[in-house]
Every structure is written in structure tokens, then in C-alpha cells.
Chains A and B, each alone.
Chain A
Amino acid sequence: MNEVNMGQNPAVPLLVPRKGALYSFIFRLFKEKPLGAVGGVIFLLFLFCGIFADVLAPYGMNETNMLRRLEAPSLAHPMGTDHLGRDVLSRILIGAKLSMIVGFLAAGMATVVSIVLGIASGYFGKRTDMVIQRFVDAWMTFPDLILLIVVVSMIGPGIPQIVVVLALLYGIAGSRIIRGSVVSIRENLHTHAAQSMGARPLHILCYHILPNIMPVVIVLFTIRVGAVILTEAGLSFLGLGVPPPAPTWGSMLSGSGRTYMYLGPWLALAPGLCLTLVVYAINVFGDALRDLLDPRMKGSR
């Protein structure tokens, strides 16, 4: 079996990624998951608006025009104006930026917290598992909203504290889901096989556990992005969110949107529809991503 130790000159480069892997992935997305593709497009649009909000917004977010208050949508103001004569489209765009920042930061941090706790609990098991799970139990007995209200009323409203609290709330609760899948993967024969090949625990975690829980992680993350944006909107609605005059979709709904619902329904419709659309798009896109990235779902040749 000497030839096994030869082969210094690979005739075919084996590790070069296939050219056009991204293109073929996008092609598959549109072909196999058209709904997910639509979700992806809306999601990208949302990101685009969020990133370039300051450039795209035709007016300043706090630019008032008392002569043009509560105007219905027109060419000059595609989404109308609010009770102070501010352009709703501009405020929606800036709101997209804030929602994006809060959503991604909090959901990302929450996912990291979930993975760390879930893996520590599920993979190492025994006493570690016991301690972590009892902590999670205790944490989950606090109502989310109460915790948020306590923190916000102690430190005051602001993006950093909201992001951190939301990340902890969703992260600790979500660790259960990660733990569950880690426990089932850990008992799979291939992790035992890896052990029998002399793999270190870290190697097993990185090559055998993590890739196998990726479908769960992706879904968890995308659902969280939606959930965090919604929770932030809810907090703003209660006046505990990102402080005014920064426009978030939640505060737009609860502030001028609710007060002037009959005089200017577009004030509530614009942020409400955007919120619904973006959250829905993210969820559909996440589902599609999970299915496509899982090699098991790929048809055999």
C-alpha cells in the first residue's frame, strides 16, 4: 500500500472550489424555491435600503414642513407625510436601518449565545448539562417583557441595551433547541466513528456536530431576526424602544400612526406593511436556505 503515501503531485486540483458555485446556488434557489427566492430578493432590498438609507431618503428624517401636514401619498411624498409634515418614506428608510441594526446584532448575538450554551450543555452533558439547564429554567421563568422594562427603566432606552437584553432573552431560550439537536447528533454513529479515529473533542465539535446543526442554526437565526424586529417594534410601541425622534417602525406605528389612523391611514399602513413584509420574507428565505444548504436534500445524481 505504498502508493497511498505517494501522490505528491495531484493531477487534479482537488480542493479548488467549483467555479460558479454561487451562481449555481442562486440558480437552484430560483428553480427549486421560488418563494424563498422572492423572500431573498425582498430581504436584499431591505438590506440595501437599510445600508443606503441616508443616501436614498429624499428628505431628512426630522425635516418638518408645517404647510404639508398629513398629506396623502403623492409623487413628491410617495408614502405621504405625517402630522408634522415629515416625509414618511424617508422615515421608513431610516427605520429600516435601525431595524436592520437591531435585528442582526441581537439575532446574531442570540445565536452565538444559543450555540455556546447548547453545545456546552448537549455535548459535554453530565453535570455541565445539569447546571446550564437549571439556569435556563430559572431564566425562562422571568417574563420577557418585565425584564426588558426593568432594564430599560434602569439604564434608560437606547439601542445597545435593547440589543443586549434581546440577545440574552432569545439566546438563552433558544439554547434548548440547539442542545436538543446536539444531543441527537452526539449519539449518531459518525461521531463515535470519529472518536474511534482518534479525533479530539474540538475536532468532533467543528466537523461533526456544528455542520450537522447548521440547518437548525440557520432557521433559528432567521426566525430571530424577524422576532427581534417585531419585539423592538413592540417596545417602541410601549415607548421603551429606541428613543424618539429616531424613527423606528414600531414607534411610527404607535405614535403618529395610531393617533392619526383615521386622518392619515398611510401613517400606520406604511410601517405596518413594511414590518409584515420584511419579517415574512426573512422567514421564507431562511427556510429555503436551510433546505438548499443541506446536502441531504440535494437529489442524487
Chain B
Amino acid sequence: MKASPETPMAREGSLLAVRELSVSFRSERGQVRALDHVSFEVEEGETLAIVGESGSGKSVTALSILRLLDDAGQIDNGSIEFEGRDLLHLDEPSLRHIRGDRIAMIFQEPMSSLNPVLTIGKQVAEPIRLHRKLPWSIALEQAAELLDRVSIPESRHRLKDYPHQFSGGMRQRVMIAMALACRPKLIIADEPTTALDVTVQAQILALLKRLTKELNSALILISHDLGVVARYADRVAVMYGGRIVEIAAAAALYKNPQHPYTEGLLASQPSLHSTPGERLQAISGQPPDMANLPPGCAFAPRCHYARAECRASRPPLEPVAPGHERACFGFE
């Protein structure tokens, strides 16, 4: 155990500060807590990866930041501060000025996140028209330039095409172009490459990374694949059961995981050095039932190191090294 006496760096003036965010959903089984006191910060220009399995609260986090949770979801507690304003206390019109302009979102499925009956040009020009109130001719001109930036060939001609004339990777490029249209300070990409094949995946992530660097936009990259985000993230937050269990700089997290879950995730990746036929390591057990979380650490039922203490009470997120926090009572 490397408990450090230092308190975590006080991140004054970060671009986005999510503090103690709790979200619950109404369901037929009563209130289900999807996020439980989640806190993290994102600096200007930084890439934060949020990693976790299905149902761990990644997408709920993303939607909460934009206040786009549907009616069943309810923010119980916490604050989301963006550029010094608490998004949880803004009214709809002010939120609309932030959405798409200051914070943009890229969704998981490029196949269905474009409107099938509008041309690509109109859709890419849409955020420009919405926020800059420019006439169509100029907005479309900018849309063509945006398509150039995301490396879509013959952008001018393709403005008049419809989404079904684009491949999945191309559509995700279009989505990226739309997200960049108003040069937002923060881009949230919710599993942007899940629906794409592996080679396209790498291209899209590299493109996203390059463009956010050029714009000095921060990026929240949500993924269920720890391996995929490794190369692109500055910091990584690992979520489990609606909580952040470990958050650290990417290199530190990969070299020196401090939570059994992170360790398990890293160990379960196939490596280039493994011998053919060797079985992959798996984390035994099932993801937790969010409606019925254990009283102690949510990961305890699947944890090799779990002790009585782990099953009785929840470990808080505490620093183990500068900039490295984990929610664990410690393990060998």
C-alpha cells in the first residue's frame, strides 16, 4: 500500500468539475442508483478516458453533464461546474447555448445518429446555424471545410449526399465534424468506435485526438475497452457499479494499477507475448445488479482480495500517490 500523505492536487479553475454527482433512475424495482457520488475534473485540452463495463455509469455520466437524461433519470445530488457555472442550476435556454457550442457530444452509433432524410451538408451546418446564426451559404461553406478536416474526400460534392451513402467510419467522421463545428471547449465521445471495425477504430480515435489537440478542446472519451483508450488518454477513470474506483494518469494506471478491478481488466487483455492456445484471464462473476448493490464495496463479490471489511463498508476514493486515487481498502 502506497498511501501518500499528500492531498490530491487542488485543481483550481479546471474546465469541468463534477462533484459528488449522484443520479438515480425510476424503475419497476424502485429507485436504482446509477451514479453514486462521482467526482472528477477535466482540465482544458486534457483527454480523460472513462472506462467501465456496461451499466457502470459511463454514459449516464456523459448525459448528466449535458443534462440530457430522460425523464426517468434524476440527479439527486452534486454539482457539475463548467467554466465556472453550475450546469445543474441552469435553465433550458442557457443549457441550449452550451450544448453543441461549448460542449459537444459524439454518440455511439454513427449508423443512427445522423438524420436519414437530411443531407450531410445540412446536418454538419446545423450546429453552426443554431449557434452562430449564419446564413446557409456560409454555414455550408464551413461545413465543407469541416468535412475536409475530418478527411472526407471531395467534401464539396459529398455535402449533397445522404447518410446512407456513407460507410460507418465515414459517418463517424461526419459526427466528429459536427461536434467540432462550433469549436467547443469540451467534447464528450460516448464509445465513439464501438460500432466500427478495429482498423477504422484506430483511425477515428487518432483523428479525434489530433483535432481536439488542434482546437485545444478537452475530450472525455468513454469506452469499455481499457486497451483502446490507453494510447489516447492523458488520464483514465475506471468506473464500477456507478462509482469511480480508480483515477490516475494513463501511464501510472497501466503500469501500476491500484484497484483489484483495474488489475483484473489489465490482466484479462491478450498480450503479444502470450503463447498460442493460452487461456485469457477473466474476472470471475457477473457485473453487479445496480438495483441491488452489496452494502460494502460493489466489487467485493468478485474480488480475490476481499476481506470482511470490504463486504461491510464502502471504501472511499482516496489518494495513494499524487494524482492517483482509488477506492479500495488495500490489497496485496
Q: Which residues of A contact B (CB under 8 A)?
A: 1, 3-5, 7-8, 10, 12-15, 126, 188-190, 192-200, 203, 207-208, 211-212, 214, 294-296, 298, 300-301
Contact = CB atoms under 8 A, between A and B. Distances in A.
A33 B117 CA distance: 21
Q: Is the interface of B mostly helix, strand, loop or mixed?
A: helix
A188 B163 CA distance: 14
B142 A294 contact: no
A10 B137 CA distance: 7
A14 B162 contact: no
A192 B130 contact: no
Contact of B96 (A5, A188, A198, A207): A198
B13 interface: no
Nearest to A12: B156
Interface of B: 66, 68, 71, 95-101, 104-105, 107, 109, 112-118, 121-122, 126-127, 130-131, 136-138, 140-142, 144-146, 149, 156, 159, 162, 164-165, 175, 178, 180-181, 183, 214-215
A301 B138 CA distance: 27
A300 to B, nearest CB: 5
A294 B163 CA distance: 12
Contacts of B121: 14
Contacts of A8: 138, 141
A198 B104 CA distance: 9
Contact of A197 (B140, B149, B178, B214): B178
Contact of B127 (A126, A197, A207, A212): A197
A301 B214 contact: no
Contacts of B105: 193, 196
A127 to B, nearest CB: 12
B164 to A, nearest CB: 6
29 contacts: A3-B145, A4-B145, A15-B136, A189-B112, A190-B112, A190-B113, A190-B115, A192-B113, A193-B178, A196-B105, A197-B100, A197-B126, A197-B127, A197-B178, A198-B99, A198-B100, A198-B101, A199-B100, A203-B130, A207-B118, A207-B122, A207-B126, A211-B117, A211-B118, A212-B116, A214-B117, A295-B116, A295-B162, A295-B164
Nearest to B128: A4
B146 A4 contact: yes
Contacts of A197: 99-100, 104, 126-127, 130, 178
B112 A188 contact: yes
A10 B138 contact: yes
Given A10-B138, A207-B118, 8 more contacts: A4-B183, A7-B144, A14-B136, A14-B137, A190-B112, A190-B113, A190-B116, A200-B96
A15 B112 CA distance: 25
Given A295-B116, A298-B162, A198 B127 contact: yes
Contacts of A3: 145
A301 B161 CA distance: 10
A14 B99 contact: no
A193 B177 CA distance: 13
A60 B215 CA distance: 76
B134 to A, nearest CB: 10
Contacts of A301: 165
Contact of B114 (A10, A190, A196): A190
Contacts of A193: 105, 107, 113-114, 175, 178
B324 to A, nearest CB: 32
A14 to B, nearest CB: 4
A193 B107 CA distance: 7
A298 B68 CA distance: 34
A189 B99 CA distance: 16
A196 B100 contact: yes
A130 B289 CA distance: 33
A14 B117 contact: no
A68 B101 CA distance: 79
Contacts of A4: 142, 145-146, 149, 181, 183
Shortest beta-carbon contacts, A-B, top 9:
A197-B100, A198-B99, A7-B141, A198-B100, A14-B140, A198-B96, A196-B105, A189-B113, A189-B112
Contacts of B112: 188-190
B68 A196 contact: yes
A13 B156 CA distance: 10
B165 A195 contact: no
A207 B159 CA distance: 17
B141 A14 contact: yes
B142 A296 contact: no
B99 to A, nearest CB: 4
Contacts of B115: 190, 194, 207-208, 211-212
B137 A13 contact: yes
A7 B138 CA distance: 7
A4 B105 CA distance: 19
A211 to B, nearest CB: 4
Contacts of B97: 198
B85 to A, nearest CB: 15
**Which of A1, A3, A301 has its CB near the most chain B CB atoms (within 10 A)?**
A1
A234 to B, nearest CB: 37
